[in-house]
Amino acid sequence: MIVEIINTGSELMLGRVLNTHQQWLCRRLADLGHVVTRQVAIADEGQAIQSAVREALGRADVVITTGGLGPTSDDITRELIAELLGKKLIENKAVLAHIESFFAKRGRPRPIKTDVETFVPEGAEVFLNATGTAPGLAMKIPSASSQWLVMLPGPPRELRPMFDASVVPLLKREFTDEIFICRTLLTTGIGESRVQEMVEADLQPLVMRGLEVGYCARPGAVDVRLVACGATAEKLVGEAEAVVQRILGENIYGRDDEEIEQVVVKLLAQKKKTLAVAESCTGGLIASRITDVPGASEVFLGGVVSYANLAKEKLLSVPAETLRQHGAVSEAVAKAMALNVREKFGTDFAIAVTGIAGPGGGTDEKPVGTVFIALASAGGVAVKKFLNVWERATFKQVTATQALEWLRTVSA
């Protein structure tokens, strides 16, 4: 089964918003055994939409469009596709009732603009929108084989539940799932070229049997991707995973969707250990990443964001003398932060970071990017020094990842 995705939206072509649909839909479809072969993004413009849809229908069994179904004047996808396929738009009473009820529940009058959302192409399957107003639409295309065009609304909070509730059942009904295994091993601490050099000879026999291997470098991490299709897929990927585990073992922090913070929360929960954090240069990001994990409250008691020196003194009891003598970005201050936050929260572990995010604040001795991370536990406190030369947002992410990785190794 060949699937293509078309994202419409002038805001995409102007770079006003990040297109998150591609990743989300590709991931969901891969889980069903269908790998998307092409993804196209175009403006809300008549000719561009119609030609992209026409071309995709010339190649794919299933074409999924996103966006352009809403109530405003730049939402034109429904009309353009109906025109392309020679279908009339007909008022749908179920959709009207659904939209009336949507606004009634919120105690607001239904805006007259939403009238347009109640008109759907004749013969279309209609997906009522559980989290918004515009319905999704699916149309069977008259062709030799089974071919479908699916239109989904643009807002992620509407598209995602609708895909799961309505598109997945449609695909299962109309197409056979294929066996397809994709496993990603997440490594940290080794560069991309070196990772491939270390594993490729040992993976080669499996590649000859149909395994596909991919590498993807991210800040502070390299993903090794193992893919196979067909009846032997599970076995092939399993063997490959064992090979990579044997060679890169220590450097593998997780697999597939796992974020390092999920691994840390899981490990700490298993061992019934608790955690607190003291953050300067990461400004709350470590705490925020940990609390993104459902169930984080089992292990994470809280933290202090001691951005100003005064906060390090008053909230974390770092002695003014230590700050003056060593500077806020120093081994001594990192240690004091970790020890004191551990004591204040009464946790098993505490992690503290202090560093220079930049763009300002660097010196010859401590250039922008200098970071000290301290880890305190019942056994005492240890410090590591890093030089993370990145722009501000990546600096924060990389530093948070290093802190979480250290926590992972001590809690494993």
Residues 172-191 interacting with its own copies (rule: CB under 8 A): 182, 184, 191
Q: What is the DSSP-derived secondary structure letter of residue 155? A: S
386 near its own copies, rule: CB under 8 A: no
Choice between 83 and 212, CB closer to its own copies: 212
Stretch that binds its own copies, among 17-25, 120-128, 138-146, 234-242 (CB under 8 A): 17-25
Exposed e or buried b per residue across 201-220, where buried means at least 16 C-beta atoms within 10 angstroms of its C-beta: eebeebeeeebebeeeeeeb
* Contact pattern from residue 192 through residue 231 relative to its own copies, giving x for each residue in contact according to CB under 8 A and a dash for the rest: xxx-xx--x-----------xxxxxxxx---x-x-x----
The reply on whether position 41 binds its own copies by CB under 8 A is yes
Q: Is 23 in the site for its own copies (CB under 8 A)?
A: yes
Q: Are strands 300-305 and 275-279 parallel, antiparallel or unpaired?
A: parallel
- 10 Å CB burial of residue 357 (0-12, 13-18, 19+) is buried
Whose Cβ is closer to its own copies: residue 182's or residue 404's?
182
Given the rule CB under 8 A, which of 118-126, 140-148, 282-290, 317-325 is the region that contacts its own copies?
282-290
- The Cα 335–Cα 278 span in angstroms is 10
Instruction: Give the shortest CB-257-to-its own copies separation in angstroms.
Output: 9
Report whether 337 contacts 306 (CB < 8 A).
yes
Number of residues that bind its own copies (CB under 8 A): 104
According to CB under 8 A, which one of 140, 255, 326, 344 is a site residue for its own copies?
Answer: 344
At its nearest, how many Å lie between its own copies and the CB of residue 331?
21
Q: What angle do CA 64, 68, 72 make, to 5 degrees?
A: 165
Cα separation, 140 vs 122, in Å, equals 11
**90 - beta bridge partners?**
120
Please state, in angstroms and rounded to a whole number, the distance separating the CA atoms of residues 81 and 99.
Answer: 22
Q: Quick one: which segment of 16-24, 78-86, 141-149, 233-241 binds its own copies (CB under 8 A)?
A: 16-24
What string marks each residue from 307 to 326 as x (binds its own copies by CB under 8 A) or -?
xx-xx--xx-----------
Check if the beta carbon of residue 92 is closer than 8 Å to that of residue 135. Answer: yes
> Considering beta carbons, is residue 294 or 380 the nearer one to its own copies?
294
Stretch that binds its own copies, among 142-150, 247-255, 285-293, 376-384 (CB under 8 A): 285-293
DSSP 314-348: HTT---HHHHHHH-SSSHHHHHHHHHHHHHHHT-S
Would you count residue 390 as binding its own copies (CB under 8 A)? yes
Helix/strand/coil for 143: coil
Q: How far apart are CA 404 and CA 151, in angstroms?
A: 40
Give the x-and-dash track for 230-269 against its own copies (CB under 8 A): ----------------------------------------
Distance CA 14, CA 23 (A): 19
43 binds its own copies (CB under 8 A): yes
